[in-house]
Structure formats: C-alpha cells, structure tokens
Chain A
Amino acid sequence: MRPILLQGHTRPLTQIKYNREGDLLFSVAKDKVVNAWYAHNGERLGTYDGHEGALFSVDVNSSTTMLVTGAADNTIRLWEVKTGKLLHTWKTNTSVKRVEFSKDDNYIVALTEKQMKFESEILIYKINDLGTPQPSSPVVSIFPHPSKATVVAWSYYNKYIIAAHEDGSVSLYDWHVSDPEKQLVKNVQVHSSSITDLQTSEDGTYFITAARDKAACLLDADNLDIIKKYSTDAALNTAAIVPDKDLIVLGGGQAASEVTTTSSRQGKFESRFYHKIFEHEVGRVKGHFGPINTVAVSPAGDSFSTGGEDGYVRVQFFDEDYHSFKFDF
C-alpha cells in the first residue's frame, strides 16, 4: 500500500510518537515545530507553537491529555493536547535530548545534553493533573557517569531509569534514592559505539537499543542481560518493538554528512523488520532518501511510521501478507 507522506517539517525529524490508541501521531523535528496528525489519513490536527530551538524529543501521556517536548532552547514544555495550550515550561541548563512520561503518567524524565561547563543530567519531574499548577523543581536529578547519556527511558512500574551511553553501555538507575553514590544499580557494555535509540516494550520489562555499530540489542530491564542481538549492514539510528507481533523494526543508514559524497544505493535508508525471537531479517521497506532518524509502530498494529533526515514522515500501513505471515517453526 502507498505510504502517507507527512510534509509538515522542513528539517530532519528527531522523534515521532503514537498515542496509546494509535489514532494520533506526534512528530518533532529540528525546525521548532511540534505537529499532531491523524494516524489513519495523515491529516494534520494541529501544531504546538512556542519552542525557540530545534526539538529533540516528544511524548504523550496515556490518556492523550498532556504532551511533553524537549528542545535545544533549553526548555521542557508541557502542552494540553486538545487545545495546544502551553501548560508549563521548565528551564534547563542545556538542550533537552529526551523526554518521556512514566508508565503511570505521574512523572516525566528528561535528559539534558553535556554542553559547555554543564554535565549531562537526568531530571525527573512530578506531573500534576491537568488544571493544577506543575512543580517547577525536579524530584531528583542523576548525573550519568562516566560517559554521557544519549537516551533515557522508564522501566516497568517506574522502578528504574534506563540510560544508554555514548560509549555503548547501558545503565540502570534507582531514582528513588537521592544519594548520587547509590543511584547506579548496574552498568553493562552492550555496543561498541554510541547508542542512538532505546525504546521499551509495552510493559517496560525489556527494551531495544540501536547503535552506530550496526547492531540492535534486546535487553532485560531487570538485570540488563542481552537477550537478543540483531546484526545489520547499516549504522542504526532507531529501533522499535512491534507491540502485537514478535517483530522489531530498525532504521538508520550512513551518517547524514556522507550522503552526498557517495552513491545513493549504499545509503541503506530502508527500515528493516527482524523477527524478535529468531533474530532473522524478514523484510525491508524503502522510501526515505536520507537516513531514518526515528521509527514508531502504531499500538493498533496496523501501521508504522518513520521520520527521516530528509524531513518527511512516512506512515506505512501494513499489507495483507504482513498480517497473514507466520514464521515456520
């Protein structure tokens, strides 16, 4: 089936997210715009205006009432999904690389970049119900060591904060502890180069990492055991777990700076589907003419979306044979 091309951004996409029902899609790019789309036809629902720098991350809570965004203008902003109203702005020292609602919507985690004299920092804020004021200082902050963190996520029941690092390792932090010495629970070397994405499963008990070393790994969120490893031929920017099937999706391609200097066919800009359990590649979907920066699979299981360096979001509905395909075993 023909994909729907969402042309609402003029700069490389940085993150896309479905809401819990899978009917809405939120996308952020380096062009200061937050877009909300109808997932089934690609019609734009609206934008959230206010950021003054490139956006790096977006997340929506499970009741689709609040949206949180993180940007290079050193702010984290909370929006009302329905009206587009700015609810709260948190100032940070440096640009915000990642934001995520906790599984129970009561907290958000934010990751700030290491810039100038400021170290990279993981901040956790309490989120109050819609209509009540938000507390402006974080509940706890964690300084990831020794390598800076590139991605963070919540584990199941908000038990831990999972952080992936520039040196290819993954850490578990116990955020209930305020003593910085005791926050780190475990650190495991997973990849040989910088980890670019980390997405948890629906229940947060395991997660997938994508790295520039051309591999993606599935890890147990409790003890950081590497359960599966998916090796590809392209440097990876993103990885997602398909919720209702035993599949994962990987996206990436050669670094954006090299694209113009080499032939297009070796860019490897396809999204790749792997069997989650057998680590076997089952299919590829091409379309982007730049590396894929972010991928998300609809919780409804009927489509997936990719956001590319080329500024497009492609919403791709699965064909009939995707649903009927069964692995022989």
Chain B
Amino acid sequence: MPELDINNLPETEKDIDFTDLEEKFSEQLLEDTLDNVILVDGLPVVDQAKEAKLFALIKKLAKNSGKILENGLHMPTESKDDKTVSKGYAFIEFETPEQAKTAVMNLNGYKLDKSHTLAVNSFMDVEKYSKVPETFTPPPKPEYRTHGHLKSWLLDERARDQFCLFYEQNLSVAWNNKGVSYDTVVSRNSWTESYFQWSTFGLYLATIHRQGVVLWGEETFEKLARFVHLGAKLVDFSPLENYLVTFSADPISLEAVDTVLGLGNEHLNPFTEADVGNYFCLWEIKTGRLLKSFPYASNSDGSPVTKFSWPCFKWSPSEKYIARMTPGSKISTYHVPDVRLVSKKSLPVPDIVNFEWQPCSPDNLKNKKTDIISYWIPEIDNQPGRVVLISVPDFSILRSKNVVGLKDIVFSWHPSGNVLCARIQRYTKTRKSTFSNLEFFRANEKGIPSDLIECKDNVVAFSWDPKSPNYKFAIIHVADPTPPKMNSTGMATTTVKSNVSFYQFVRSRSKLSLKEEYVLLKTIENKNTTSVNWSPNGRYIVLSTLRTTTSWGLEFWDTEAQSSSNPKLAKSTDQTQLLNSGEHYGVTDIEWDPTGRYVITSASSWRHSMENGFAIWDFKGDQLSKFPVDKFKQVLFRPRPPSLLSDSAKSKIRKNLDKYSVDFDEQDRIFESAASIEQLNNRRRLYNEWVSWRKTVDERLDALSKTMSAQGLFTHPDPSNEMEVIEEIVEEVVEETVEYV
C-alpha cells in the first residue's frame, strides 16, 4: 500500500488505493478457481455451423461426470480461409474440482469416432507440466557413507547378550551382565512411536514411525536405512534378513509421501502410480529399494480381505519365494527379488484356510532342492477336510490326507523341516464336543509316512524342542477348549485347569519288526499353564501362566535330567524334572536369551498397569534380579545369527568345558571383586563428602549462634533445662506365698 499521509487520510473507503492488495491476492484467487476446469483435446475441427451440435455432444458426454457451469464450455476459434473454425480443443468448467476429476477419468481416451480420440486433462495439470524445465537436472547423489562393524555386538569379550527395552517413551539397548545388572549401550527418548523389533538374526533394530520404518545398527545404533511407508503398523523380516515386508492401514498416496519428504526430495519417493492405493510393501534391506507393493487380497466378490494374520506374506526358508494366500481361493507365490508370480499365475486352492512353508535350518539350505508348502482345507458338504503337501515351484502334490469331523488345524513344522505336526481339532461323533489328533508327517522320508497321536482332550498349544534329535515336544491339553474370558487388553480374568505332556519319537528295532512311534514321556496334571517356552538350545523349558489376572506361576523344567543313582535304570518319566518354580506378579511375556542361559519375564503396561517391569532368571529358575520400571512396555533379546562352528567343534567344546570354566570362574571373580571395590570406594567418597559438609555447616552455625543471640533473634535453650533423667523404681508384688517352717 502506498504510504499513508496522516494529515491527508482518504475520506471514504472508495478513495483507498487497494491495487497492491488486489495484485497480491488475484493470482491465488484465479488458481483456486481453476481446479474445476478440464481441457478436452482431440475434438474434431468444426465451423460455426456445426459448433452447436458438437457442444451438445460434449455436454452429453460430460453429463455423467458432473454439472457443467453455465457458460462453462469454451471452445477457442481461429480464422482460417475466411471461416471461423474451432481449434480442436475445448475447456469445460465444472461445479466442483471433484466433478472435474471424475470427468478426466471418464473421458480421457474416449473414442469419439475412428479418427478422434479425446485427450482430457485437468487444466491445472497442463499448467503444472508446462512449467517443467526442458533440461533434466539429475537429483543430487547421496554421499557414500561408510558404516561401522554391523556385527560388533557378537565380539563382546564376555560373550554377553544385548536386549532392548522400551518404557514410557524411552528405548534403550543394554548388555545383560549375567542377569544381575545391565549396562546401557544407547538410550534415546521417542526413538520409536509404537514399538520396536529386531531382525531375524539381530543385525538390525527396527523402529516404527508414522512416516515408516527405520533400521538401526552398528555399535552405537546409527540409522542404516529408512523405508517410507506412511502409517506403517506391522513389520516382518525375511528369514535371512535380506528383505522386509511392511503393512500400513493407510493406502499409499504419492502426494502424501511427497509432502512428508519435503520440497525438492520428490526423487526419494519410492512409489509410482502403480503403487497408489496399495497397503503392503516388500523392500530389499541393503539397497533400500521397494521391490513391489501389494493391495489387500480380494475375496471372490472383489471385496478386500482386511482381516489377516501377520505375517500374511510367508517366506520360503531360502528367501527365494514369498507367498500369500487368498482365503478360500488361492495361494500366490512370487519369486524374489524380481517378484514375478511363479509359473505366471496363482495356484488355485478352493476353500484353503491356511498354509505354511517347510522351514529349513540355515546350514542345510544349500542342499535343499525343492520347497514344500503344507495347506489344509475344511470339510465342505460331504467332502472330508484335507491336509496337503505340495512342492514348489512345480506345485505337484506330494501327499494328501483326508480328515473327517474336522474343525480346525494348526501346523507346526519342526525347525529342521523334517517333521510337520498338524494339530487337528475334531468333533466327536455327536458333534457336541471336540478332541485333538496330532498327525506327524515325516517330510524327508519317501512317500511322507505319517504317525498319529490321538488325545482324549483338546491340545491348545504345541511346541517342538528346537534342538532335540528325538523330535521331542510339549503340548498343553485341556478338557474344554473354549478360551477363558478376556478383558479389553487381552488378560484372561479366570484361569483354566490344564495339563502339560511331553512326547518324543522312538525307533525300536526288533528282529521281526521296526517300531516307530511317539511315546509319552510325562504328563504334568492340573496346572494353570497357558504357555510353554523351550530354551533356544532345547532341553530346558519354562511352563508359565501368562496374561491372567489371577495367577502368575512359572515352572522351570529339565527334560533330560539324569537320575543320579543309576542312569541306565532311569525311566523316561524321571528324565523330566522340575528344577524350580517361581512367580512373577502380573507376568505377560517370556523371553529366552538366544544362548539359552537367561530368561526374561516381563509385565507390560500394554496389558495392565500393575507392577510393570521385568525380571531376569537363569535357566535353572533362580531369579537373578528384578527391575520395576514405570510404564514398561516391551523387552526383547537381540537374536544371534546361527553358529559358525560345526557340530563336532561344538561337542568338543562341551567335552572340555571343565578346562575352560576355570578361566571363566577366574574372570568372574575379578569382575566381582572389582565391582565391590568400586562400590566401597564410592561409598567411602560419599561418606567423606557428607562428613566434610557437616563440618562446614557446624562451623557456620557456631559463628551464627553468637550474632543471632546478640541481636535477640534467637533464644538458646537454657542448658540447665537440658534433659534430666528421672529413674523411677516400681516394685510390684508378683506372688506371695506363706510357708510355715
């Protein structure tokens, strides 16, 4: 605005010069109104006579998309050969930008006749793209950054394990010092927005943010990679931690990602038009590249399947394939990293309920030729239910088994991939109650023979001993399989009586026959156990009552205990022995450390707010320490990659353990005494500080006492009034007897 002269103010509003303001805002006004304008190109060139007819045609075409404003149709004309003819394009102004948008969708590519195909664009887009500079300037190349040793945590001198804990807004990674204390490595506030996760072998720590997923690593947990997926909720690492699958409940939108990345960073946007509206992303971790994004699986009627169990993309153990099931219709198997459908189409499996890949220990991956998928389909009409094993990539059926009276099946592959246990829940003949069968398929043997255990009651949990050569496993079985009532945070309000049984595979050869079967080792009856957790090294197991509001028992069992007197006579039932039992009030989660030395039990504030925190136990069930932590949420041990030692090397170490342990004991002693000396020194220092502080205070008081009483501000108590002890002797007659002599 031009300078105002105080003495010469405009008399009326009309006299004020608004030109500067009008100039400033006019452009914006104009732009705002152009969102509802579309440009229709490819129209036939017509003269004035036919103009009205063409207008009518355009109006008719655009009618479905929205209402055209009055005088909203403009067709520029030019003079040619003394005639006024149209230029072959027109502008249409709609009532709203939305209508314009649908018109673009509907009319673009519309064939008017053989020689005229409409090209329709939003007017704003034309503006936008016309402003794109003609010369291409490559985006700035990110500087190469060397990073530190990614596996440095494995080189710890004391072979300690790390764990990560999350409380309030704080995320910390710490060393576990023999379960007694922990040393924090890094601790950051608001490091994650919802939760954290370790990668399969512990190389990366994933934190979840509104903008996506960030991976951290190295000694000091630097940022290694960022995967932009707005609203990411779920994360899943591939078995060899080369890939990452993320899920967000918000559909991918290019504009939203651009906004988050900020101006000038559009080249970092991993998505293209093809990804818009998808929910799942498959990433390659090392390059940070988006391999593919996926929509929800769709039902036969085209509606999306928004309820799924995570991970819904399942990996083959070699990471060669990733598969997803569309419930009731098909399995889609993709080859990674090119993410092409294997044999170009999904495998149709009508009625499929669930599937599982055959796992494989990382050592045997090289020898593995084909992958196996097991899936099951329920009973439909009079067709019995079925368990099917197929090979990948040729999808030929290896084995199929019918089941009658089928209610539900849960697959549990042994970690070696040699045996598949199908936990089958079946109806009794009356169909009023249910019972369980355990069907074991020996996948590595010819013809895939199966063994069966029939249970009278219902098996609610099944867990393989991960290392046992005899395929040992534990089950929890109950009479009534209906789960107890839960409160809103998933805590059961009552406990259910349950039994725990241990079985193992036994092969006994007599002259005539070969007997192969699973034998019951021991049943522990009438417990409240809700969860069985094997040590990652096998043999030891924790039976626990998790997530109930009334019971918090923990029992530590050894399944290969040698009875001391005579090992040869020891019966199988004696092998399974209770080592110790304990209780952790409010326990919600159990976590073994990757070496099987320690167990962390934790009470998470996600479930309840009673005595949140965690406790560390050794494998024998002795509680080593307990840490109450306010608003404690999550604790997870950092996984370790598989050992590089061969089995023979390991057994050699085990044999010579006594020799090594001398050194270790010595180390422990040194550490302990150093710690206690340090503590004593610290205390001595604190005490001396206190004493010297008191001395200065006393001196100050002495100096002050004279001045204060001289000024009459303080009357010192009269020394004669000091405490006087009066001793009173009271004699009481306890008893009186009279004796006559």
State the A residues within 8 Å of B (CB).
20-21, 62-63, 103-104, 106, 156-159, 176, 203, 205-206, 214, 220, 222, 227, 233, 246, 262-263, 265-266, 276-278, 327-329
Contact = CB atoms under 8 A, between A and B. Distances in A.
Given A203-B701, A205-B697, A327-B683, 4 more contacts: A157-B704, A157-B714, A159-B704, A329-B680
A263 B716 contact: no
B723 interface: yes
16 contacts: A62-B717, A156-B701, A157-B704, A157-B714, A203-B701, A220-B697, A222-B700, A233-B630, A246-B690, A265-B585, A277-B683, A277-B686, A277-B690, A278-B686, A329-B683, A329-B684
Given A263-B610, A266-B611, A329-B687, A157 B705 contact: yes
Interface string B696-715: 01001100110010000111
Contacts of B684: 329
A277 B714 contact: no
Contacts, number: 57
B628 interface: yes
A233 B686 contact: no
Among A206, A227, A277, A327, chain B packs the most CB atoms within 10 A around the CB of A277
B700 to A, nearest CB: 7
Contact of B610 (A106, A214, A266, A327): A266
B697 A262 contact: no
Interface residues of B, number: 25
A203 B716 CA distance: 12
A103 B683 CA distance: 33
Contacts of A157: 701, 704-705, 708, 713-714
B597 to A, nearest CB: 28
Nearest to A233: B628
Contacts of B611: 265-266
Given A222-B700, A227-B693, A277-B687, A21 B715 contact: no
B115 interface: no
A176 B713 contact: yes
B717 to A, nearest CB: 7
Majority SS at the chain B contact face? helix
Interface string B597-612: 0000000000000110
B564 interface: no
A104 B716 contact: yes
B704 A328 contact: no
A327 B630 CA distance: 29
Contacts of A227: 693
Interface in B676-691: 680, 683-684, 686-687, 690
A154 B151 CA distance: 60
B683 A63 contact: no
A327 B682 CA distance: 13
Interface string B609-631: 01100000000000000001010
A265 B583 CA distance: 14
A125 to B, nearest CB: 16
B430 interface: no
B27 to A, nearest CB: 50
A285 B721 CA distance: 36
Interface in B44-80: none
Contact of A106 (B683, B686, B715): B715
Contacts of B701: 156-157, 203, 205
A104 B683 contact: no
Name the 7 nearest CB pairs between A and B, nearest first: A329-B683, A104-B715, A157-B714, A277-B690, A205-B697, A157-B708, A233-B628
Contacts of B680: 328-329
Contacts of A277: 683, 686-687, 690
Contacts of A327: 683
A158 B714 contact: yes
Nearest to B683: A329
B398 to A, nearest CB: 54
B717 A104 contact: yes
Contacts of A20: 723
Nearest to B711: A176
A222 B715 CA distance: 20
Nearest to B724: A21
A262 B610 contact: yes
Interface string B536-574: 000000000000000000000000000000000000000
A28 B723 CA distance: 26
A276 B716 CA distance: 28
A63 B721 contact: yes
